[in-house]
Structure 1
Amino acid sequence: MLHYLKTEADTENGRNFDAEISNVSRRGVLGGLLTATGLVLAVRITPASAREALKPYPTGGLTMPDGVVADPHVFIAIAPDGALTIVTHRSEMGTGIRTSLPMVVADEMGADWSRVTLVQAPGDEKKYGNQDTDGSRSMRHFIQPMRQCGAAMRQMLETAAAAKWNVAPALCSARNHQVALLDKDGKETGKVLSFGELAVAAMALPVPAPETILYKSPNEFTLMGKGEVQIADLHDITTGKAGYGADTRLPGMKFAVIARPAVLGSKVKSYDASATLKVPGVEAVHEIEGVFAVPRKFGQLGGIAVVANTTYAAMQGRDALTIEWEDGPNTSYDSDAYAAEMSATAAKPGKVLRNQGDPDAAFANAKDVVTAEYHGRHLVQAPMEPLVAIARIVGGKAEIWAPVQSPYGARKEIAEALKMPIENVTVHVSLLGGGFGRKSKWDFMLEAALLSQKMGGQPVLLQWTREDDIQHAFYHTASVERIEVALDDAGKVSGWRHRTVAPSIVSTFKQDDGYQFPIEYGMGFIDMPFDIPNIRCENGQAMAHTRIGWFRSVSNIQRAFAAQSVVCEVAHKLGRDPKDFLLELLGPDREIDPKTAGFPEDFWNYGEPYKEFPINTARLKNVVRVAAENAGWGKTLPPRQGLGIAVHRAFASYVASVVHVAIDDDGTIRVPEVTSAIDCGFHVNPERIRSQMEGAAVMGMSNALYSGITFKNGAVEQSNFTDYDVTRMSNYPQKVSVHIIDAPWGVHAGGVGEPGVPPFAPALANAIFAATGKRLRNLPMGDKVA
């Protein structure tokens, strides 16, 4: 059985330790971990032969882009009884990451997975490396460092055994939680030493230099890429025992909610809390100052906090508040008017970001031009667990408990807000009940910390309600995507012009100029992979009037929807099969050269060096073929049913989806089956990959048919799942078949958590067209088609 180790905070919170690990104290575990002489993190290149010494990163040195720079980190402890503890430093929100990374360590060590206990790291990037669990980068950035940790520990155990037996280390082999003595022919002699027997001696040894570490070959793996390894938290999650953010309890803790301004930038002009203070259970009312200066980053909105002895009493007290707000600059924000403005902007030339060939000549000489405009509303992450944070300040030190994707970023800004050294702030990470990017922003944690400070350090649990979550989020951007396709006399695509207009996430971090920045236009826009001689990508100006933030797959959602939908539109116009036409557009097998393709010099490739993570059309075409073949592409379907296909590269992975739709007599859109193929390179846990792709289909259906945020007079019109709809049990993808491409050994790991979302909406729209002949270009499309 795999265990997840609770910390001292969990004991204080009243949670029960598993009996099997009751003899392992947190102090003992952390004290036994490798420290200054610990395991060196290095590059993430997987050598062609795993037994070769590690090669330096091709760009030079050992630097990784997310802050892991040959630093010693604390990850492994072995108890005298052989119990193995592995620190997991990324946040768990359903991706399985705090299981999958320790799997890599355990596999390279030769450990028995049933004897592994996991302990969640607090926010401390100096010690653990980057902890921002976002961008689908946990595995692709940390597979190799975790392999190095495990392999180094294995060699240390083998060296310790060799000293005990007075033999060469080459005659010692770690496997199944023990080290076996081999004869000169490499056969086991029957003599073994357990990991527990070797723990003290192994930990006393110097860590092997990175260039001397030997890695397992794929045929030696027992965990990576093998079988069905369930996440460590699965039992507790499914039985209701798992501890989420709101489950934390501290002695003397109070409960709070906050009334926040409906319009971004509005301030409290005056308030009357006399009725609130009469509500039974209400104990205090405090004003929390908002952050109005640019950059706002993830600063708190500000408002009036109500503190009570229960969350319900605090909510009742909030309802009794009388607040007069001083209107901010965004009171006139109206979604319909804004969409019309964006459409008008998209109809005009914008800032040129990619230019290949001579697009003007291609359109001037075209026999025909297909023009289509695709709209997308704002989206809110709406994780099942609303935001919550617990703060306590004692003796000049602050502790925060929260379900957070970026614990170290939160720690830094909490320290600044409280005006105390960062060393005096501790951030404990709980299990996340979903995140999707919202919990990478820590405004809710700042609120809790500031409120505790106002209460003299008393512990307080600050709860966001679902209405708070829907109406005060960092929203996925709204957008207009206008694509024009030039066709020559032979019916070939000779020109492609794509204009994108959308408020930018960069407005959250600096003064808004209305244009996007490299991370956004590198997501399915300038990196369009089609073999077209003349291409131009332009960005039109759109000022932000609300907080814009990360959302699962970010700008890939609307870009893939537009590009993959228009491919089907052009295929229909030409009388071509959409799948065959898509493969033709992808062109010959090649790695796209950014320079000859007209990419800008600041092209953002998901934070990866392009030489190591190029856009590979062979991999794109392969997932298209695999998905189409397994979906039965071309088969005869009953009336009002259809198949649609789409493909997209995101976060260094390649995903194609085929969606099968069936339209009811009343027009209701149903999805009997989704077939997806994913090429994410080297992969560790197939069970989690399938799970993420299944979840992406469900979320993709929500984005495509149901979910949308609109503004009127500067305020969000939706408030809960009653009017911000999501896919439900009554209508969701009934079957999701996932096909994972086996990557050749040595192919880098790509992302998994986000890449499955973008192809769904265009594949669905294309399937609806195949079933009904109706083309839907707005997200959400609605759950019925006339």
Structure 2
Amino acid sequence: MSHKIENVSRRQFLKVSGIGASSFVLASSLGSYTPVWAQPTSQDDVELNLFVSIHADNKVDIICHRSEMGQGIRTSIPQVVAEELCANWELVSVVQGLANKEYGSQNTDGSRSIRRFYTTLRQMGASARAMLEQAAADLWKVDVNTVYAEDSYVHHKDSNRKVSFGYIAEAAGKLSPPDPETLTYKSKKEFKLIGKPVTGIDSTEIVSGQAEFGQDIRLENMLYASIERSKVLGAKVKSYDAEATKSVKGVVSTFKMPEQPMPVMFHPMNGVAVIADNTWSALQGRKALNIDWELGDNVKHNTTEYVAELKNRIVTKGKPIRVKGDVYSDLENSTDTHSAIYSVPYLSQAPMEPSAATAVVKDGKCEIWACTQSPQVTQQNVAQALGIEQDKVKINVTFLGGAFGRKAKPDFSIEAALLAKELNRPVKVVWSREDDIQQGFYHSVSVQHLAAAMDNEKQVTSWLQRTAFPSILWTFTGTVDEPQMNELSLGFGDLPFEVNNLACETHKATGHIRIGWMRSVCNIQHSFAQGSFVDELASKAGISTHKMWHQLLGKDRLVDPKTDDFDYQNYGEPQDVFPVDIKRIKRALDLVVEKSGADQPTKENEGWGICVHRSFVSYCAVATKVKVVENKVTVLEIHSTIDAGTVVNPDRVRAQQEGSMIFGLSIALLGEISVKDGAVEQSNYHDYQVLRMHQCPKIETYIIESDAPPGGVGEPGTPPVAPSLANAIFHASGKRIRDLPVKNHMSV
């Protein structure tokens, strides 16, 4: 294995990490090391190179190779490294890593930053600590077993001697690294940082306005660009009024963006850029473009007709992807059956900060500043667009003012790079809120059909479910017209119910607008349908929804969805390490019912709704209480429980759960992107609404303590929210909502 610790020059370290002070650097390239908890599932999970920099004044810099978008990863990653390093937290600073394949995956998505790197980060800290301890032992000429690190000092057990990390860092940098198999790690009871609610390392900068987001970048001699993009996917520019646009004060130039081929991939959309010496002029210049478009075939896409078409299709037999027993025979012979159709519209991530990227292209090189979730993907795609090598592209990651999957796509950075090359000056591309809502990458529209049979004892004997939605893979192929196994593994084919007859089927659905990732992805529609249907079955059987969940989940056991020939993906994790554990599902459900009091009687016109869902190898349950009067719904309170295995920072987990509740309520109550004649109808927060303060209920979150490996946190809280809300509305009013959002049926 390749494993080294180096003392490198300031210039070298600046080149790799962007640190602006001289320091001794402990660099660990983990090569073929296989973490105990996280077996690599792809090449980018094998390689990791994080840097620990110790200054002569004893301060420690720890690189964060993931993107900070409010989830607190720039605190959690240093927490893990500093814990095993035995560094004094007050002396720790975080440095944002550049795009660099040596870090392994830098794509901050899939709720996997801690899940995938926890063990490796601990190794990084422990390896550096071992070298510092050895350097101190050599200094004192004592056995290394007689020294120990604590609070950024190495102490000698047999005397009162101690030496700072900063004093011995240079000597440590000259040592050979230890074999990973010889490293020792702290026990849970010894933790001072892991599992503790450490305050966000960037909190002061963020609340004081000092933090630098993508929209904040300013460079000397910089121009500003705003792009009028095609409203209809694939539309091409036939002509535009360049002269009228240039007559707008402040406008410097116009530029027709290179026409992009299909499939969509990460290409920028076709359109015309207006470049100006300020953002306002660029925005005003767009109004004078008067573009004549060749609209293309997608102009025929209308969501009303499209959803109706999917609903007609979904009631017919589909393509089986998981089968157990004989559902159709049991449904046909049963005298007690129930069925329902559910739909979820297109959705936008709608982060508070729209996309922004600034680029400089000079001497065959490119430097980008962007609020990106995926610096490596950005580097690759920018290099390809410019026709240069990847190592000629430098990606600086700013803070992200929200992202939720939108900023995992590099199209806005490619736009900036192309314009900077054309203008031969620094160019910042600014997306407006309208751009973000109307030309983004959307969560897919979906329709589901569920049916079940019950015996005379009201036990469910059969469960049939079908799903239809345009696949994200269509964005990259233009030909795929059915859901893929990785999407069907997100809360559909991995249904954990213990029923004798089960059938999971899919139907075709082609894409017409850009489909992309959004927080919790396909779990949104799958949990909505399943969680709602469980509640419907409970009402039909005359039992509590809580009891129906227990009945369907069956006995405590580990479920293997692959048993029924389903190609289960398990979020890229090994099932022996991250199994589907029924006991943990029940525990999350039981706790939320207990803490919320969801099983207690309510006042007139009030009702509780519950749901539990496993996603991103974590377990989350939600209980929502509403009041419905004169067809107006008010959400009174919402409770959530999460079992995410080992938790690094409970404060950040709690914050992400609270954010998930708000995000989920926004989707369920208000979220809807509709398309007419190929174009998105919504344009800003007035018609694509997110939860307002007066609509936000009391929120309570409970973290279940666990010694299991770390699971995902950022996304698991969202899926159970919509079904718990819809169920609560039913129990308060008797009105069953199967088509989101709620605002189309009731006042919110």
Which TM-score tier does this pair reach, normalised by the shorter chain? over 0.9
**Counterpart for residue 611 of structure 1:** 576
CA–CA distance in structure 2, aligned partners of residues 290 and 627 of structure 1: 52
Equivalent of residue 638 in structure 2, options 674, 694, 701:
674
CA–CA distance in structure 1, aligned partners of residues 342 and 48 of structure 2: 49
**Counterpart for residue 43 of structure 1:** 34
Equivalent of residue 49 in structure 2, options 53, 73, 76:
73
**Counterpart for residue 165 of structure 1:** 140
Equivalent of residue 381 in structure 1, options 349, 358, 361:
349
Equivalent of residue 708 in structure 1, options 664, 669, 672:
672
1:34 maps to a residue whose letter is L
1:224 maps to a residue whose letter is I
Q: 1:697 aligned to 2:667?
A: no
**Counterpart for residue 74 of structure 2:** 98
Q: 1:111 aligned to 2:102?
A: no
Distance 1:72 1:711, change over 3 A: closer
For residue 417 of structure 1, report the CA deviation from its aligned partner. Answer: 0.7
Identity %: 43
Q: 1:192 aligned to 2:184?
A: no
Equivalent of residue 722 in structure 2, options 761, 772, 776:
761
Q: 1:474 aligned to 2:430?
A: no
For residue 290 of structure 1, report the CA deviation from its aligned partner. Answer: 3.3
CA–CA distance in structure 2, aligned partners of residues 77 and 40 of structure 1: 20
CA–CA distance in structure 2, aligned partners of residues 503 and 39 of structure 1: 39
Distance 1:686 1:531, change over 3 A: same
SS at match of 2:695: coil
CA–CA distance in structure 2, aligned partners of residues 524 and 580 of structure 1: 21
Q: 1:224 aligned to 2:188?
A: no
SS at match of 2:132: helix
SS at match of 1:481: strand
Alignment of 1:514-593 (within 5 A): 514-593=481-560
TM-score normalized with structure 2 length: 0.96
For residue 146 of structure 1, report the CA deviation from its aligned partner. Answer: 0.4
For residue 209 of structure 1, report the CA deviation from its aligned partner. Answer: 1.1
For residue 682 of structure 1, report the CA deviation from its aligned partner. Answer: 1.1
Q: Is the CA contact 1:41–1:149 (under 8 Å) kept in the aligned structure 2?
A: no
1:645 maps to a residue whose letter is I
Alpha-carbon RMSD: 1.8
For residue 599 of structure 1, report the CA deviation from its aligned partner. Answer: 3.9
Q: Is the CA contact 1:41–1:73 (under 8 Å) kept in the aligned structure 2?
A: no
For residue 28 of structure 1, report the CA deviation from its aligned partner. Answer: 4.3
**Counterpart for residue 623 of structure 2:** 658
Show CA shifts across 1:90-143 (max 9, x none). 000011112101110001111111100111011112x21110000001010011
SS at match of 2:299: coil
Q: 1:84 aligned to 2:60?
A: yes
Q: Is the CA contact 1:495–1:535 (under 8 Å) kept in the aligned structure 2?
A: yes
Distance 1:25 1:282, change over 3 A: closer
CA–CA distance in structure 2, aligned partners of residues 538 and 748 of structure 1: 32
Show CA shifts across 1:612-634 (max 9, x none). 11111000000001111000132
Equivalent of residue 385 in structure 2, options 412, 417, 434:
417
**Counterpart for residue 19 of structure 2:** 26
Q: Is the CA contact 2:482–2:507 (under 8 Å) kept in the aligned structure 1?
A: yes
Q: Is the CA contact 1:514–1:541 (under 8 Å) kept in the aligned structure 2?
A: yes
For residue 313 of structure 1, report the CA deviation from its aligned partner. Answer: 0.3
For residue 39 of structure 1, report the CA deviation from its aligned partner. Answer: 5.6
Distance 1:678 1:599, change over 3 A: farther
For residue 593 of structure 1, report the CA deviation from its aligned partner. Answer: 2.6
Equivalent of residue 603 in structure 2, options 613, 620, 638:
638
**Counterpart for residue 404 of structure 2:** 436
**Counterpart for residue 241 of structure 1:** 210
Q: Is the CA contact 2:235–2:270 (under 8 Å) kept in the aligned structure 1?
A: no
Alignment of 1:263-342 (within 5 A): 263-294=232-263, 296-342=264-310
For residue 432 of structure 1, report the CA deviation from its aligned partner. Answer: 0.2
CA–CA distance in structure 2, aligned partners of residues 403 and 618 of structure 1: 40
For residue 212 of structure 1, report the CA deviation from its aligned partner. Answer: 1.0
**Counterpart for residue 3 of structure 1:** none
For residue 72 of structure 1, report the CA deviation from its aligned partner. Answer: 6.1
For residue 374 of structure 1, report the CA deviation from its aligned partner. Answer: 0.5
**Counterpart for residue 49 of structure 1:** none
1:310 maps to a residue whose letter is N
1:418 maps to a residue whose letter is L
Equivalent of residue 687 in structure 2, options 699, 723, 729:
723
1:573 maps to a residue whose letter is K
2:397 maps to a residue whose letter is V
For residue 41 of structure 1, report the CA deviation from its aligned partner. Answer: 7.5
CA–CA distance in structure 2, aligned partners of residues 627 and 667 of structure 1: 27
CA–CA distance in structure 1, aligned partners of residues 732 and 331 of structure 2: 32
SS at match of 1:779: coil
For residue 83 of structure 1, report the CA deviation from its aligned partner. Answer: 0.7
2:119 maps to a residue whose letter is Q
**Counterpart for residue 19 of structure 1:** none
Unpaired segments ≥5 residues, structure 1: 1-6, 12-23, 47-56, 184-188
Distance 1:109 1:39, change over 3 A: farther
Q: Is the CA contact 1:39–1:207 (under 8 Å) kept in the aligned structure 2?
A: no
Q: Is the CA contact 1:668–1:784 (under 8 Å) kept in the aligned structure 2?
A: no
**Counterpart for residue 736 of structure 1:** 699
CA–CA distance in structure 2, aligned partners of residues 513 and 700 of structure 1: 29
Q: Is the CA contact 2:50–2:124 (under 8 Å) kept in the aligned structure 1?
A: no
For residue 292 of structure 1, report the CA deviation from its aligned partner. Answer: 2.2
For residue 38 of structure 1, report the CA deviation from its aligned partner. Answer: 4.8
CA–CA distance in structure 1, aligned partners of residues 117 and 632 of structure 2: 44
Show CA shifts across 1:287-310 (max 9, x none). 10132222x311111211001110
**Counterpart for residue 208 of structure 1:** 178
Q: 1:623 aligned to 2:588?
A: yes
For residue 236 of structure 1, report the CA deviation from its aligned partner. Answer: 1.5
For residue 27 of structure 1, report the CA deviation from its aligned partner. Answer: 5.2
2:25 maps to a residue whose letter is L
SS at match of 2:497: coil
For residue 266 of structure 1, report the CA deviation from its aligned partner. Answer: 0.4
For residue 32 of structure 1, report the CA deviation from its aligned partner. Answer: 3.4
CA–CA distance in structure 2, aligned partners of residues 297 and 560 of structure 1: 28
Q: Is the CA contact 1:38–1:207 (under 8 Å) kept in the aligned structure 2?
A: no
SS at match of 2:349: coil
Show CA shifts across 1:430-458 (max 9, x none). 000000000000111111111111112x1
